[in-house]
């Protein structure tokens, strides 16, 4: 078979290590704080190619076995958007009915979706049957495919926020209904439906905290040492 040539045996040239200074780290902290879930959008359209550029950033996210199982479905068709809104309204009514009387009024006052205003909308699915990655890291934890797709979502969220674009995660939907509305492959697992646009108001505190729905916990209360 012979000895591989130098070019054949070379996998990837190592890039110089990036150096991030104190100022960059401070700005990164600002980005994390401003990442929040946006629920109120202006109707101004995003620049052409915005979604495609964000999906390119998402492809830098970590994935099990380098499987890149995320599948992005842009939703531009008005009939499909209307069907998503109807499904949300049905699921939201059921969620409201399931709240305690104490929480019901607070829940009813929350605006949980930007489906009517957000200029850009897309869904993320995880392709469970992908051959990419050759199954590495999935034998004992097949759900790593879904976790990888979520990592891509968070990457999009941060990249969007860095461009002053807000993003909201609409979780009150029926996964099977969404898959049918968007006509995707049966092996794809629904991860989430997302709204993108310029935020109607600027506030570093998430709406759920401002409304009193829940308070954010500090890391110290979530660390278990063994």
- Report the 10 Å Cβ neighbour count for 21: 7
Dihedral of the CA atoms 46, 161, 78, 107 (nearest 10)?
-140
pTM: 0.86
Percent of the chain with pLDDT over 70: 91
Q: Quote the pLDDT of residue 1.
A: 42
pLDDT at 190 over 70: yes
Domains in the chain: ranges and CATH: 36-201 (3.40.109.10)
Q: Is the pLDDT assigned to residue 10 strictly greater than 90?
A: no
Longest Cα separation, the chain: 76
- Number of Cβ atoms within 10 Å of the Cβ of 41: 23
- 77 contacts: CB under 8 Å, gap ≥ 6: none
């Amino acid at each position: 078979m012979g000895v591989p040539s130098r070019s054949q045996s070379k996998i990837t040239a190592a890039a110089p290590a990036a150096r991030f200074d104190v100022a960059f780290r401070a700005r990164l902290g600002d980005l994390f704080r401003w990442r929040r879930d946006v629920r109120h959008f202006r109707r101004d359209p995003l620049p052409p190619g915005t979604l495609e550029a964000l999906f390119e950033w998402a492809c830098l996210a970590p994935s099990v076995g380098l499987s890149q199982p995320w599948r992005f479905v842009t939703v531009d068709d008005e009939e499909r958007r209307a069907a998503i809104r109807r499904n949300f309204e049905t699921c939201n009514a059921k969620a409201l009915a399931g709240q305690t009387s104490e929480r019901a009024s607070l829940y009813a006052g929350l605006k949980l979706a930007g489906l009517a205003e957000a200029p850009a909308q897309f869904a993320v699915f995880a392709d469970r049957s992908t051959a990419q990655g050759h199954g590495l890291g999935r034998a004992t934890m097949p759900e790593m495919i879904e976790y990888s797709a979520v990592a891509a979502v968070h990457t999009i969220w941060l990249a969007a926020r860095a461009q002053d674009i807000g993003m909201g995660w609409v979780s009150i939907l029926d996964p099977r209904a969404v898959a049918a509305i968007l006509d995707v492959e049966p092996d794809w697992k629904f991860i989430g439906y997302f709204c993108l646009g310029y935020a109607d108001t600027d506030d570093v505190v998430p709406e759920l905290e401002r409304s009193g729905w829940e308070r954010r916990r500090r890391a110290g209360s979530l660390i278990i040492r063994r």
